[in-house]
Structure 1
Amino acid sequence: MTRQEKTRTMTLTFAPPSSEALPLQVIEADALETWLKTQPDPVCDWIRNTGFTASLGSTALVPDPQGTVIMALAGYGTPGTRARGRFHLAAAANTLPAGSYRLEGLDPTRAEEEALGWLLSGYVFDRYKDQKPAKARLIAPEGVDAGRLEVIAAGEALTRDLINTPAADMGPAELEAACRELAAQHNAEIGVSEGDALLDQNFPMIHAVGRAADQTPRLIDMSWGDDGPALTLVGKGVCFDTGGLNLKPGGSMGLMKKDMGGAATVLGLAHMIMGLDLQLRLRVLIPAVENAVSSNAFRPGDILTARNGLTVEINNTDAEGRLVLADALALGAEATPDLMISMATLTGAARVAVGPDLAPYYTDEDAMASALDAAAARVADPVWRMPFHTPYEAMIEPGIADLDNAPKGGFAGSVTAALFLRRFAGEVPYTHFDIYGWNPVAAPARPKGGVGMGARALLEALPEMLSL
């Protein structure tokens, strides 16, 4: 088996309960002296001699007089230092020696976040090079739903793996294969429209964007569940984006393997929904294409007719993601689901606005936004509501066609892209995420590379959003 053919065998699971597990005492910096007063003098002397101050992310091992380690300490800093990050105990998971640990002294309201972070600290992307995951394993804290967190961690790992895989090994065909594997795992139904069949089945913009690539464009359609409200997830699956004839410069092309991050995040969320057996009817739509350069590539100035009949003037072939999403959204709207959500690595403007760590989203549904914002805070998956600012509709109307895929002027690029997509969602309650899908700097539980954004917040909010 080649490195490229390697399949993941790692699982992100909690350690089984054991009386031999080492206690891991979580201590805030301003509580250290109080805690030391409850300990024997040899322990106090050892801690003071090691210089442990309970700063955020610090660890210490405490031995007995014979040199056997009897406990570990994890510094939990101060509220101010914790506010600047998340998954703080995941740093301990990466520094403690191999073994099983049970948490003591952690605020129960932080247990779920920290337990999930510990699981995610075990993630490595080792398809092309051997990597060493954290070897310290955690026993699920009391009151935490261990099975639920393991499903969530597996969904996040799926998202990361798909984004991290380079386009040579994650083109439209491989993305389809990943969808089929997920469907088989959860007994979901799946169908694929591919190549010229896209024209026959009225997906003209998906075909136009992907027709120049060696791998044919396709629309992947997966369904699961027979009861409950209907949820449709639409994920942008541009497996590589050269920019088309409006070719990107090299510096902008380097991360374009992640341009299918919307599809990857949708699939991770779908795994969570199906793995937790939520009582809803799930549909996943992924237009999978590569935006390539060839003699038959779509051109600036072309006017395309979308599935719903709207015409679109192409003023920049590098604004292709909204085109493939448009056809998929139009299909999704035809079934009038109770909620439709799109996720896409759509605009650089969103990154300029909120940076790489926030997942900006758009919705006209105030109740959904309230549920989503509250859920995001509970599960440490930050999101930020952006405006569907209707007065900007004129900016996406070029005159020669119904819509412009790349309005001139450079203003409100993420907003105008979202408004473009809203034209294809019909009357269905609709939420759009303009995510980054990449962690540029390693952080606890979040190594540099592909990352899910907004999926856990959505999972937490769905019961309220859909009245489950």
Structure 2
Amino acid sequence: MIPFVVASSKADPKPIIVVEKSEFADWLEAQSAPHKRWIGSHGFDADGGKSLLLPASTGEIEAVVYIKDGDWNIWSLADLPSRLPEGTYAVAAEFTEKEATDVTTGWSLGTYTFDRYKKDDKKYATLILPKGADEEMVARTVKAVTLVRDLVNIPAGDLGPTALEAAASQVAGEFEAEQGNIVGEDLLTYHFPMVHAVGRAAADAPRLIDISWGDKAAPKVTLVGKGVCFDTGGLDIKSAAGMLMMKKDMGGAATVLGLAHMIMDANLPVRLRVLIPAVENSISGNAFHPGDILTSRKGKTVEIGNTDAEGRLILADALAAADEEAPDLLIDIATLTGAARIAVGTEIAATFTDDDALYAELAAQSEKEKDPVWRLPLWDDYRHLLDSKFADINNNASGGGYGGATTAGLFLKEFVEKAKSWVHFDVMAYNVRSRPGRPVGGEAFAMRALFALIKERYSR
């Protein structure tokens, strides 16, 4: 349920009075004496305050005063639905269509809770849909973000490769997309050997999820998402602390499903393909070993320098399959390296591409959507760090921990040749702190910016 109502509602909403920070002193001077005393008694001012309830003489809420500091964006009002008392509110402000759509989206995301395992009885304030807001776009975005967050938040015991396939099937089925799943030993038959190698030790068989939708004559847009449903590190086993958040290692897969949902819901004029290699990197007698040499789908041989660098192995097979069709735009999203988190922190999507024009478009949409990305280099001079004495390439860079996000990107680049344009995202897929509209837990990194880019690029 999206917590806003249409403007034709008969509800008598409480107004949210918007006061520009620079105009607060003049606004306060014009208020009634009781309101001045109330505001003063709460220590509310333009510097420390964001919103305050104003009482009527009856003791009920007369209005809400909101201090606006800067331009409207998706997160401007996102903390209000949880802070305000239950009821219906309307923003007393003039918005552009995008502003109205954004603030409504953020308000709605401010009510997100993951309540699958713990009941949440919290009541949230409801917003009257602002004039000009695109209700369909709000619903589209909120549904996609909710899908991503829910999938990432579900623990691995309830979301293995089989369950991830089922979630993908729900998305595909909603839009009558075609779906094929290659499972277990069939991965060898259909030439996804590294997906098989990484996932074969798990009780829940590895698989390649393949979804296609749209006019076959339209420009090809292919999304590849890392679907490691849990990562023990394999025989190069992680520490207990290192495994604690590994339920989120399928965050790339969740994000491409959310992005695919938005693309199909908007009926964008593209030929969409979604490829998700879904595995658990587990430990058993048939687990792949450090030092093994695998032959990839592309034919390149890969020496295993570390079994905990498994994500790039499964992505390599999926990227090779995607690249065979020479898509117009190839996007992969993965929770790939700790090095990316060291480089850009936990709240920015590390971004790699050789296409300057594509990144310029992406950066512009990122700023508009407040969906941050930051470009890191695909520095070809570091390719030697992936050299192997016995195979074409090693999956674990020999650089002593330096440049790990870049060398991971360079590894993936080896499997992309025909795509007109390719971009790789190395993301956290998780909020480690709570912010308005973004609670601790799963998060859709770069998804809104990518949707805006694809819509702009292919709907001209």
Q: Same fold (TM over 0.5)?
A: yes
1:339 aligns with 2:329: yes
Tell me what 2:371 maps to.
381
Tell me what 1:420 maps to.
411
Tell me what 2:77 maps to.
89
Aligned equivalents of 1:133, 1:278: Cα separation in 2 = 37
**One-letter identity of the residue aligned with 2:367:** A
Q: Is the 8 A contact 1:211 1:296 kept in 2?
A: yes
Aligned equivalents of 2:191, 2:288: Cα separation in 1 = 17
- Measured against aligned partners, the alpha-carbon deviations of 1:108-134 in whole angstroms (never above 9, x if no partner) come to 575443322111011100000012455
Q: Is the 8 A contact 1:344 1:434 kept in 2?
A: yes
- Which ranges in structure 1 are unaligned for 5 or more consecutive residues? 1-10
Alignment equivalent of 2:284, drawn from 294, 312, 316 = 294
Q: Quick one: structure 1 residues 332 and 458, their matched pair in 2 at CA, closer, same or farther if it must change by over 3 Å?
A: same
User: How far off is 1:103 after superposition?
Assistant: 0.9
Q: Quick one: structure 1 residues 133 and 153, their matched pair in 2 at CA, closer, same or farther if it must change by over 3 Å?
A: farther
TM-score by length of 1: 0.93
1:213 aligns with 2:202: yes
Report which stretch shifted further, 391-400 or 117-126: 391-400
Tell me what 2:425 maps to.
433
Aligned equivalents of 1:217, 1:229: Cα separation in 2 = 30
Q: Is the 8 A contact 2:104 2:129 kept in 1?
A: yes
User: How far off is 1:147 after superposition?
Assistant: 1.4
Alignment equivalent of 1:235, drawn from 220, 225, 228 = 225
Aligned equivalents of 1:450, 1:414: Cα separation in 2 = 21
SS of equivalent residue, structure 1 residue 117:
helix
**One-letter identity of the residue aligned with 1:269:** L
Q: Quick one: structure 1 residues 114 and 466, their matched pair in 2 at CA, closer, same or farther if it must change by over 3 Å?
A: same
SS of equivalent residue, structure 2 residue 83:
coil
SS of equivalent residue, structure 1 residue 245:
coil
User: How far off is 1:47 after superposition?
Assistant: 2.7
- Measured against aligned partners, the alpha-carbon deviations of 1:8-66 in whole angstroms (never above 9, x if no partner) come to xxx22422223511111122433222223444444334333333224566332223222
Tell me what 2:214 maps to.
225
Aligned equivalents of 1:457, 1:451: Cα separation in 2 = 14
Aligned equivalents of 2:214, 2:141: Cα separation in 1 = 19
- Measured against aligned partners, the alpha-carbon deviations of 1:47-98 in whole angstroms (never above 9, x if no partner) come to 333332245663322232222322112233x45xx99x97132122211011
Tell me what 2:160 maps to.
171
Report which stretch shifted further, 455-464 or 369-378: 455-464
Aligned equivalents of 1:222, 1:231: Cα separation in 2 = 12
Pairing of 1:21-420 with structure 2 (within 5 A): 21-55=13-47, 58-76=50-68, 78-79=69-70, 87-105=75-93, 108=96, 110-133=99-122, 135-226=124-215, 228-408=218-398, 409-420=400-411
**One-letter identity of the residue aligned with 1:138:** L
Q: Quick one: structure 1 residues 134 and 54, their matched pair in 2 at CA, closer, same or farther if it must change by over 3 Å?
A: farther
1:453 aligns with 2:442: no
1:463 aligns with 2:460: no
**One-letter identity of the residue aligned with 1:259:** D
Q: Quick one: structure 1 residues 185 and 263, their matched pair in 2 at CA, closer, same or farther if it must change by over 3 Å?
A: same
SS of equivalent residue, structure 1 residue 269:
helix
Q: Quick one: structure 1 residues 467 and 181, their matched pair in 2 at CA, closer, same or farther if it must change by over 3 Å?
A: closer
Q: Is the 8 A contact 1:24 1:104 kept in 2?
A: yes
Q: Is the 8 A contact 1:313 1:398 kept in 2?
A: yes
Report which stretch shifted further, 206-215 or 133-142: 133-142
Aligned equivalents of 2:263, 2:456: Cα separation in 1 = 14
Aligned equivalents of 2:122, 2:236: Cα separation in 1 = 41
Report which stretch shifted further, 305-314 or 45-54: 45-54
Report which stretch shifted further, 349-358 or 269-278: 269-278
**One-letter identity of the residue aligned with 2:5:** A
Q: Quick one: structure 1 residues 133 and 162, their matched pair in 2 at CA, closer, same or farther if it must change by over 3 Å?
A: farther
- Which ranges in structure 2 are unaligned for 5 or more consecutive residues? none
Q: Is the 8 A contact 1:57 1:89 kept in 2?
A: no
**One-letter identity of the residue aligned with 2:320:** A
Q: Is the 8 A contact 1:273 1:459 kept in 2?
A: yes
Q: Is the 8 A contact 1:232 1:340 kept in 2?
A: yes
Q: Quick one: structure 1 residues 424 and 467, their matched pair in 2 at CA, closer, same or farther if it must change by over 3 Å?
A: farther
**One-letter identity of the residue aligned with 2:312:** R
Q: Quick one: structure 1 residues 154 and 303, their matched pair in 2 at CA, closer, same or farther if it must change by over 3 Å?
A: same
**One-letter identity of the residue aligned with 2:285:** S
Q: Is the 8 A contact 1:57 1:88 kept in 2?
A: no
Q: Is the 8 A contact 2:324 2:418 kept in 1?
A: no
Q: Is the 8 A contact 2:268 2:459 kept in 1?
A: no
Q: Is the 8 A contact 1:54 1:74 kept in 2?
A: no
User: How far off is 1:342 after superposition?
Assistant: 0.3
Aligned equivalents of 1:451, 1:111: Cα separation in 2 = 23
Aligned equivalents of 2:375, 2:310: Cα separation in 1 = 24
**One-letter identity of the residue aligned with 1:21:** P
User: How far off is 1:271 after superposition?
Assistant: 1.0
Q: CA RMSD in A?
A: 1.9
SS of equivalent residue, structure 2 residue 318:
helix
SS of equivalent residue, structure 2 residue 63:
strand
Q: Percent identity?
A: 47
SS of equivalent residue, structure 1 residue 319:
coil
